[in-house]
Structure 1
Amino acid sequence: MNEFKVKGLSCGNCAAKIEREIQKLEHGDTATLSYNTGRLMLNPEISMTKVEQILKTDGAYLVKEEMESHHHEHDDHHDHSHSHGHDHSHGSNSTMLRLLIGSAAIYIAAFFLDGNISSYITIPMYLLAIIISGYTTFIRGIKNLFRLEFNIDTLMSIALIGAVAIGEWKEATLVAILFGLNELLEGLGMEKARRSMETLLQVAPKEAIKLVNGEEIIVPIKSLAVGDIVIVKPGGKIPSDGTVSAGRSSVNEAAITGESLPVEKAVGENVYGGSINNEGLLQIQINKAYKDSSLAKILHLVQEAQETKTPTELFINKFAKYYTPIIMIIAAIVMLVPPLLLGGDWTHWLYQGLAVLIVGCPCALILASPIAIVSGITRNARNGVLVKGGVYLEQLGKITTLAFDKTGTLTKGEPHVEQAIVYDEDRFYSIAAAIENASSHPLAKAVMKKIADHEVTPYKLQDIQTVTGRGIQATINGVKYSLGNEQTVLHLNVPASIQSEINSLKDQGLTLVIVADHEQILGIFGIADEIRAESKAVIAALHQSGINKTVMLTGDHAKTAEKVAKAVGVTDYYGGLLPEDKVNKVKALAKEGKVAMIGDGINDAPALASADLGIAMGKGTDSAIETADIVLMQDHLGRLPEAVSIAKKVNRIIKFNIGVALGLKIFALLLTIPGLLTLWIAILSDMGATIFVSLVSLTVLIQSKKHHIES
């Protein structure tokens, strides 16, 4: 599929109509056009001239020839490859604004001259104002009328012709001016939401400094391959995901993770493309070609996200399809029934019927959802929360139950020493340091971290051997020592007091590392997975935001599960689960309400896929990220409560918008019963609703004062 950028789409309804027209062409059945992003996807074999003709009917046009598969490369050299090479969006908006101001000035002048001066002068003034502000709509409307296609332009054009026909010049002109204003504002609302999206996409670097045989060469990002070495100067952007091969610096990863604090990077540490190098010079070995980097994936996901239709949007689009013909029928009844059957005045009821047509514009309804959704996805993306589609944003706002994996989500996923019981002050830490120093086992790392807090001079090892399933045996200064689990001290006669301490540590769900010589136990380390500092606050914030059930699912044994569950404050917990048990638990929870599952590992992927909504930790495994519908790019849950409240706000706004749009229309239609509906009220009920809906939707973009929970 080839990808093009379309500008000048006048409304969501029109975009849907153009998409249907293009799909009727040969090779057009797979074509898609998104109003939210202005992206057109076409089969390469389609006739481009026909596509352009169809776009022209709505005053839309292609910005340039086929775009890059990644949308944000604005290389100047291929910007003029199309006759519409320049971006008219600013131009067309400002021209439209000038025309509207001009026609409004003429209208006001005519309005005040009316009655004081011959109508031969005022009527041409009104006519001029109508032509200046409404001619594009009018031309489209007349074309549609001949094709028997009834959309907003058709309704407006009929209303214009009718108003002029019955001599309502003032109102006809106002219809034209306000409709022009409506179109301008509708375009600006969507443009604002899109533009805030595009600023998000500008974090992508354009070129990189590559090291070739000791020489620095500037190359385009796209040409970088795995294994290339690049130099990133202070203030420069890291071109793609890689590993630091030389240098030290702190890096700002806000564009990727939404975290504002810089992260220290040294040799061997991983870095993200798109993050900014702060002070030192870094040499980086590229691990992923740019198109596979986290950043490119984020940008791609966010762009795709805007194009998925939510259930509410699909409903509104269907509704609008039936709604317009119904309005036409109501208008016909209003125009014909009173004069024919009730002896009403033709002019009066014709006027009422025209007002009904204007009330019937489905604009505000169709806009009820997209601007809010795009704003919500953008707001979250700025916070480093990737929502892969509008559908998932809508779902997130409806979640009642949250299921968490424990390891790596509520906990850090790395062991740390929680308790150390020392029986032999002189030897315990020194012997442990001597033995564990040589080991790369994760538990050894935890022990070494603990020992670092104590001043210790490690002894020299004379001999060391690993005993499978037990631990390590070593000889130091001619004495045999053992370090490991309970099995290593089976040969000792353990005093009852020490045995009860061992049992107590085990009851707390701790993993034991015991240090002993051939006669006695020197001390015990009790090791656990460290609970993330922010987990408790996050769970509390989630409960506050209206999620009534938080459930922890883990493969760890019940004791550990109970301990973590109590510490973080989840409402329920289940331990000892295999991946398939997690899936069954999620399915069981789904029977009671909408469930989101949060996890970070391969073992969570099946459960993420079976939940109504899968949420993955961005530092988790690729399979979890691929399967999830929402990705938290940070390494913690701190942004989750804010993401939930943004989603809830978007859902509230959409409901509110639909209510306002329909409410005003119903109110205006009811006025026809006593015959009180005027074109002014009709216009205000439609226009007012559209403008109001657009502005309310944009409030989602405003950053609230409530900060996320820091890790």
Structure 2
Amino acid sequence: MGEPQLKIYRIEGLSCANCAAKFEKNVKELQGVEDAKLNFGASKISVQGAATIADLEKAGAFENLKIRDEDARVSKPEPFWKQKANIKVLISAILLVFSWFLSKGEADGWLSAAGYAAAILAGGYSLFITGIQNLVRFRFDMHTLMTVAIIGAAFLGEWAEGAAVVILFAISEALEKYSMDKARRSIGSLMDIAPKEALIRRDGVESVMAVADIRTEDIMIVKPGKKLAMDGVVVRGTSTVNQAAITGESMPVPKTEADEVFAGTLNGEGLLEVLVTKLVKDTTLSKIIHLVEEAQAERAPSQAFVDKFAKYYTPAIILIALGIGLIPPVFLNGDWSEWIYRGLAVLVVGCPCALVISTPVAIVTAIGNAAKNGVLIKGGVYLEELGSISAIAFDKTGTLTKGVPQVTDFLMIAEQENQEKWLAAAAALEKNSDHPLASAILREADRRGTDYRSIKADYFQSLTGKGIRGEIDGMVYFVGSPKLFHVTDEADEHISRLQKEGKTVIAIGTEESLKAVIAVADEIRESSKEAIRKLHDLGIQKTIMLTGDNEGTAQTIGRKAGVHAIESELLPEDKLTFIKQEKISHQKVAMVGDGVNDAPALAASTVGIAMGGAGTDTALETADIALMADDLQKLPFTVKLSRKTIRIIKQNISFSLAIKLLALIMIAPGWLTLWLAIFADMGATLIVTLNSLRLLKAEEQRDLSK
């Protein structure tokens, strides 16, 4: 027999972290289920084994959870005031107010007590069912604490306070649900970016099709002002496309034939015909949504701390409440009613709602906001780590520079030789290479009309970090670093001059001698210098440029970029060694590259950051963080977002614990009442969630230091 089937479902109505844990446990106990893993941030559950949607909804019946297939469109939540749970709270509140007025004119108070009891039942019967079930099974969560407190208040005759606790707790849960829904909508909005259908030409016939029915090789016709439904390549037409939804770029990007386009982007003024290259489940947008949802399941270090703390915190609160309720009456002749009441107040104020939700809301909100700004963060751990980075290393080619080198000089060292012959030989070898500089030589050969494609190069070999070699018509040729050859003083003078101008020198020759040199220049990105200046302003202690290029070129580019240190003539293993050494001295080091080259260095760094993730599967798969556009300006924004997230999480945890401590201090003089205890807990939950939702407003252009 094979592995049990793994299926993923979306959950509607999941807002409480404790309820999420209980639902996951219930699903694991279902017959036929091997394992289950719940993603609270994305509100999804992965189930391994045989389970129907009806089975899953039964497991989540305690919270009235609704289950949908992963691909099904999740219905938008009802307006806050129309939700059934909130209507019950409103009825309970009306009964409470009515009973309070009755109590003012009553002599014996039985009618108002009945009204308070009705308010408790109307607003809290689902709470009681869950709480009593937990008590029977010795599970202690916030529902258990509230149930004991309310039943205790009723036994003590404190009907009004019991009703107030029910209503305030229900309001607290409603606000918690609202805040989680709002945080999740940052991802939900991504899911609604791309159209669900498109105008398709197939076999010469045009028709509107659902995206699920569109196949690769179909032609998608995109009219001006319409969004693209699929990834593809432009085969006809010219236009500008707003790619902000995918890359975060603020300015539309020109598109013409052979240019790549993405689902969810907005076509400008021209009609485009696009050859569909990916199915809907494989589009860049689909991958972003999937990776962001998976990222929300990754527990950040602070969240792991809170979860571990809460595990011991709740039993400790129960023991403290028992001690306060029993020790003074038994050993100190205290009044039973008074001290049991104080113990119940401790149970209520000890509810860990605010503490448990303090981290996940902040993480979910920050990761969702980053995705909307063109930055893909693949887990809360990387979000937190980036905020504490002290050094950042940058690959040169394609990161600090544009990565599109151009030939600027072609000098013959052996004057009697034919320049075209040696350019053709170099191009014939370089067409077998995937080095970024190879494309510059090929473009130059094409520009000059040099026939190199008909030349056959045998015994091609890549000389790691040095160049390439191959045999043409029985003669061995070398193309690469000048260090491959014996260089005369005159040739060395030319090479030094070109390198001081910031150009990379490629030497061409045979086993006997150097024949020609080609100078190639790669322009620095306009955004690089500004991005590095902003990183320095943020307090990054050290920025380093890593390159395999010669020292002269590296120094010129490094000075223009404004980095602190420059490391040149590095092989891939040298970059890896350098990152490891920097981690020893700076402890936390980020590496920024293109996600394809320098993979070992990216993997060894504390946080690996890939440039230009849009359309690059390797970058999306391998990097911890992907900047979807080729724009380093997103890096300072991401560092600031990370730091603000850490700051907000610390504020949330500190505030939650401080409120609990203050309330516990109020027990001694008898100032802590039941309604004040639940009001303190509700207030803490509300403040923590609103504080976390501030991260929704964080934008690249805005100062996040406040």
Who is 1:634 aligned against? Answer: 629
* Contact 1:605–1:623 (Cα < 8 Å) also in 2: no
Structure 2 distance, partners of 1:46, 1:486, is 62
1:540-567 per-residue CA deviation (whole Å, 9 max, x = no partner) reads: 1112223222222112122222222221
Q: Which moved more, 1:150-159 or 1:127-136?
A: 127-136
Instruction: Report how far residue 687 of structure 1 moved.
Output: 1.2
Q: Which residue of structure 2 aligns with residue 114 of structure 1?
A: 103
Shift of 1:228: 2.4
Preserved contact between residue 414 and residue 529 of structure 1 (Cα < 8 Å): yes
Q: Confirm whether residue 56 of structure 1 aligns to residue 77 of structure 2.
A: no
For residue 668 of structure 1, what is the aligned residue in structure 2?
663
Cα distance, 1:588–1:513 mapped onto 2, change above 3 Å: closer
1:228-259 per-residue CA deviation (whole Å, 9 max, x = no partner) reads 22222222222322211111111111111111
Aligned 1:24-173 pairs, distance under 5 A: 24-46=29-51, 49-62=54-67, 64=68, 66-68=69-71, 74=73, 90=79, 94-118=83-107, 119-173=109-163
| Cα separation, partners in 2 of 1:525 and 1:116, compared to 1, 3 Å | same
Q: In structure 2, what is the Cα distance between the partners aligned to 1:463 and 1:314?
A: 60
Residue 35 (structure 1) shift: 2.4
* Alignment match, 1:455: none
Q: Deviations over 1:137-192 (max 9, x none)?
A: 12211121111111100100100011111111221111111001001000000011
Q: CA deviation at 1:360?
A: 1.2
Q: 2:339 is matched by which residue type in structure 1?
A: W
Aligned-residue offset at 1:287: 2.2
CA distance in 1, matches of 2:549, 2:352: 55
Among 9, 14, 17, which residue is 2:19 paired with? 14
**2:699 matched to 1:701?**
no
Counterpart-to-counterpart distance in 2, 1:542 and 1:126: 60
Shift of 1:97: 2.9
Report the equivalent of 2:295: 305
| Partner residue, 1:588 | 581
User: Which of 215, 234, 237 in structure 2 is aligned with 1:244?
Assistant: 234
The answer on 1:181 being equivalent to 2:185 is no
Instruction: For 1:462 and 1:391, locate their aligned partners in 2 and report how far apart those are by CA, in whole Å.
Output: 53
Residue 463 of structure 1: CA displacement? 13
Q: Counterpart of 1:671 in structure 2: which amino acid?
A: M
**1:326-341 equivalent positions in 2, closer than 5 A:** 326-341=316-331
C-alpha change, 1:620 and 1:173, in structure 2 (3 Å) is closer
Deviations along 1:346-390, whole A, 9 cap, x unmatched?
Answer: 111001000010111010011101111111011101111011122
Q: Report the AA paired with residue 90 of structure 2.
A: I
Hey, what does 2:372 align to over in structure 1?
382
Counterpart check, 1:648 vs 2:643: yes
User: Which structure 1 residue ranges, 5 or more long, are not aligned?
Assistant: 80-85, 422-430, 452-457, 471-483, 515-523
For residue 286 of structure 2, give the secondary structure of its aligned residue in structure 1. Answer: helix
Rounded to whole Å, the distance in 2 between the matches of 1:174 and 1:91 is: 21
Distance 1:133 1:222, change over 3 A: same
**Per-residue deviation, 1:401:** 1.8
Q: Give the C-alpha shift of residue 511 in structure 1.
A: 3.6
1:529 to 500, 515, 522: 522
Question: Structure 1 residues 582, 500: closer, same or farther in 2, change over 3 A?
Answer: closer
Q: Distance in 1 between matches of 2:279 and 2:549?
A: 37
Q: Structure 2 CA distance, aligned partners of 1:672 and 1:384?
A: 50
Q: Which amino acid aligns with 2:696?
A: L
Q: Distance in 2 between matches of 1:138 and 1:153?
A: 8
| d(CA) in 2 for partners of 1:464, 1:326 | 77
2:202 corresponds to = 212
What fraction of aligned residue pairs are identical, expressed as a percent? Answer: 43
1:620 offset after TM fit, Å? 8.0
Count of aligned residue pairs for this structure pair: 647
Q: Cα offset for 1:270?
A: 1.6
Q: Residue type of the partner of 2:105?
A: N
Q: State the alpha-carbon separation in 1 of the partners of residues 481 and 374 from structure 2.
A: 44
- Tell me which amino acid in the other structure corresponds to 2:648: I
2:653 maps to 1:658: yes
Give the alignment's TM-score, normalised by structure 1: 0.83
**Which segments of 5 or more consecutive residues in structure 2 lack a partner in the other structure?**
1-5, 412-418, 432-437, 458-466, 469-478, 508-516
The CA RMSD measured in Å over matched residues stands at 3.5
The 1-side partners of 2:390 and 2:368 are apart by: 23
Map of 1:257 onto structure 2? 247
Distance in 2 between residues matched to 1:14 and 1:676, nearest whole Å: 31
- Tell me the equivalent position of 1:518: none
Give SS of 1:603's match: coil
Give secondary structure in 2 for the equivalent of 1:115: helix
Residues 424-474 of structure 1 show CA distances to partners (whole Å, capped at 9, x for unaligned) of xxxxxxx99xx99x989744688799x9xxxxxx9x99999999999xxxx
Q: Which of 570, 573, 590 pairs up with 2:566? A: 573
What amino acid is the match of 1:702? K
Would you say the 8 A contact 1:600–1:619 is kept in 2? no
Partner of 1:546: 539
